[in-house]
Amino acid sequence: MSAAPPDVTVVITTFDVRELLARCLDRLDAAAGGLTLEVVVVDNGYGDGTWQMLLERRGVRAIRGSPDIGYGAANNIGAAAGAAPLILFLNPDTEPDPASIAVLADHLRTRQDAAAAGPRLTLTDGRPDLAGLRSFPRPASALYHFLGSPRLPGVDVARPYHPDDLTSVGEVDAVCGACLMVRRDAFQAVGGFDPGFFMYGDELDLHRRLADAGWRTLYVPEALVWHHKRQSSRQRRVRTRVEFYRSMRRYYRKHHARDPWAVRALVVSGILALGAGGVLRALAAWRPSRRRAA
């Protein structure tokens, strides 16, 4: 007689943050709240000792990834290695509170129309991580966001990227990929993460495809997860800036192909201009640090 599958497959894609990863893994048993977990870690790092640590840790399936395959592709590999009906994609720089995984799972089991759920993400200094809940970007809202324009009361075009913090469970467009639980059947039905997004934008694209397929996404503030944030991306500042704006362009072209051509040209030109500025700033910050290190 075969054993029952676990309740949740936890997938962690990591890049050279061994100590943070160890702390995250240490939190999982308490966060499970009595659920059975299978833990799959895809190591995309260069070699900070993470791989050896994973090989020595019981209860973890370690998969050797590559710095070149990206976050979404690595998460697809990790998800395919599991069998649970629910998948929790978790960043290595997170620390889930006790029972937080169980709370997310309970809400997905209760809401059969929901394919995804995310917790209340809180930065280590106690501030809310605004990326914890998102609205789908539109050209007008993106313009307001990147120009730092004030939100206009009652004006729908100024709908913010990050809606006002919810105090109870509610439906949102998207939650942050740092901690994202999805139904396996829904995840597989929409094709998983698009590997064309190397990093950034991949979870937003997934949410968009889930929504297009008729699924809902839940924000569950009673589930708390702490987020150290950008501990991997800060190691490759220039590459991450390039990928951020490249993903923005890919998302827009993929989901807004029916916008008028003038709007498309304006948006893509704006993304390229913002990207060039972002990369130049990253280069300026990187060069002095390299000189000091030398």
277-289, pLDDT tens digit by residue?
Answer: 665 666 666 554 4
Residues 158 and 261 placed together within one structural domain of the fold: no
Q: Which amino acid is at 58?
A: R
Position 188 scores a pLDDT of 98
CATH number at residue 136: 3.90.550.10
Residues 44 and 84 placed together within one structural domain of the fold: yes
Q: In the 3-class helix/strand/coil scheme, how is the chain assigned residue by residue? A: CCCCCCCEEEEEEECCCHHHHHHHHHHHHHHHCCCCEEEEEEECCCCCCHHHHHHHCCCEEEEECCCCCCHHHHHHHHHHCCCCCEEEEECCCEEECCCHHHHHHHHHHHCCCEEEEEEEEEECCCCECHHHEECCCCHHHHHHHHHCCCCCCCCHHHCCCCCCCCCCCEEECEECCCEEEEEHHHHHHCCCCCCCCCCCCHHHHHHHHHHHCCCEEEEEEEEEEEECCCCCHHHHHHHHHHHHHHHHHHHHHHHCCCCCHHHHHHHHHHHHHHHHHHHHHHHHHHHHHHHHHC
Residues 81 and 130 placed together within one structural domain of the fold: yes
Residues 202 and 247 placed together within one structural domain of the fold: no
- Residue 176 pLDDT > 60: yes
Residues 278 and 206 placed together within one structural domain of the fold: no
Residues 212 and 246 placed together within one structural domain of the fold: no
Residue 281 lies in a domain: yes
Domain count, the chain: 2
Whole-model pTM over 0.85: no
Residue 244 lies in a domain: yes
Range of lowest pLDDT (39-53, 143-157, 256-270):
143-157
Write the CB contacts of 134 (distance below 8 Å, at least 6 apart in sequence).
161, 162, 163, 172, 173, 174, 175, 176, 204, 207
Residue 3 lies in a domain: no
Residues 249 and 283 placed together within one structural domain of the fold: yes
- Read off the pLDDT of each residue in 70-85 and give the average, rounded to a whole number: 96
Last residue of a domain, one of 203, 233, 263: 233
Position 167 scores a pLDDT of 77
The whole-angstrom distance between residue 67's C-alpha and the CA centroid of its chain comes to 17
In terms of pLDDT, which residue wins out, 177 or 239?
177
Residues 239 and 273 placed together within one structural domain of the fold: yes
- Residue 152 pLDDT > 80: no
In terms of pLDDT, which residue wins out, 264 or 64?
64
Domain of 45 in residue numbering reads as 8-233
Residues 195 and 87 placed together within one structural domain of the fold: yes
- pLDDT band at 231; cut points 50, 70, 90: low
Residue 1 lies in a domain: no
Last residue of a domain, one of 213, 233, 253: 233
Residue 69 lies in a domain: yes
Residues 257 and 129 placed together within one structural domain of the fold: no
- Read off the pLDDT of each residue in 256-276 and give the average, rounded to a whole number: 70
Which segment, 73-87, 149-163, 265-279, is predicted with the most confidence on average? Answer: 73-87
In terms of pLDDT, which residue wins out, 1 or 248?
248
Which segment, 111-120, 236-245, 265-274, is predicted with the most confidence on average? Answer: 111-120
Classify burial at 191, counting beta carbons within 10 Å of its beta carbon; exposed 0-12, middle 13-18, buried 19 or more.
exposed
Position 157 scores a pLDDT of 46
Percent of the chain at pLDDT exceeding 70: 75
Percent of the chain at pLDDT exceeding 90: 54
Residues 52 and 172 placed together within one structural domain of the fold: yes
Last residue of a domain, one of 233, 251, 276: 233
- Residue 50 pLDDT > 60: yes
- Read off the pLDDT of each residue in 224-248 and give the average, rounded to a whole number: 71
Position 200 scores a pLDDT of 84
* Pairing of β 37-43 and β 60-64: parallel
Position 133 scores a pLDDT of 72
Position 291 scores a pLDDT of 42
- For 99-108, the pLDDT digits (tens) are 999 999 999 9
Residues 193 and 281 placed together within one structural domain of the fold: no
- Residue 166 pLDDT > 50: yes
